[in-house]
Amino acid sequence: MPRRFPLRDVEPFVEEKRHWIERTLRRMRETEAELAPARLEPGGQVPYLGHSLRLHVRVQPGRVREHVARRGGELHVALPPGVALGEALERWYRRRARAEVAPRLDAACARAGSGYTRLQIRGQRTRWASCSSTGAMSFNWRLLLAPPQILDYVVEHEVAHLELLDHSPRFWRLLAARCPDWREREDWLRRHGHALRLG
């Protein structure tokens, strides 16, 4: 609840919204069942742009820095003592997000005849990406936990914002011209977005 929300109003509010809450939780469980959740343990698996990568984890005494490397369908992780696997993987995903987003963004801008000023990778809780009025782009690293067409859609969405910084009918027509199945991809993200997490 918001900080200033009176405690006496919490129970009536929840009761009023009970059907919506239960329906939403049921939908979340159903969509989570469609996506294999990340298992952060030796022999576990993590999603990566439509693939499932098996984790090979070693803690190496004397190692100063973590090392994460993808080899085919495997992700090899060498950790110094005391470094959490989840933290090391998030740092790897952030680096990979820049490598995955930048060429897609460059290609989409080239097709659109536009350009951006800066690319940032973040871990926003409520946004997948953003485009500022100055052309600065920001993308959420968690998009790498989704299928590649979802990342492609989000890139096209943000590039369309370089021309129209709103969600007007003109914006959606422009996006439809560049990404005809945007509705299906937006719907997938709305239904599965909450499940795109490592832990």
| Structure confidence by residue, pLDDT tens digits, 113-144 | 999 999 999 998 889 999 999 999 999 999 99
Is the pLDDT reported for residue 33 higher than 90?
no
Q: How many CB atoms lie within 10 A of CB 182?
A: 17
Average predicted confidence (pLDDT) for the chain? 93
pLDDT of residue 76: 98
Is the pLDDT reported for residue 93 higher than 80?
yes
Q: Domain 84-195, what architecture? A: 2-Layer Sandwich (3.30)
| Structure confidence by residue, pLDDT tens digits, 74-87 | 999 999 999 999 99
Please state, in angstroms and as integers, the Cα–Cα distance from residue 87 to each residue in 33, 67, 76, following that order. 25, 12, 15
The arithmetic mean of pLDDT across residues 96-111, rounded, is 98
119/126 Cα distance (integer angstroms): 18
Coil vs helix vs strand at 66 = coil
Q: What does the DSSP 8-state code read for residue 116?
A: -
pLDDT of residue 19: 84
Asked if 108 and 156 count as a contact pair (C-beta separation under 8 A), the reply is yes
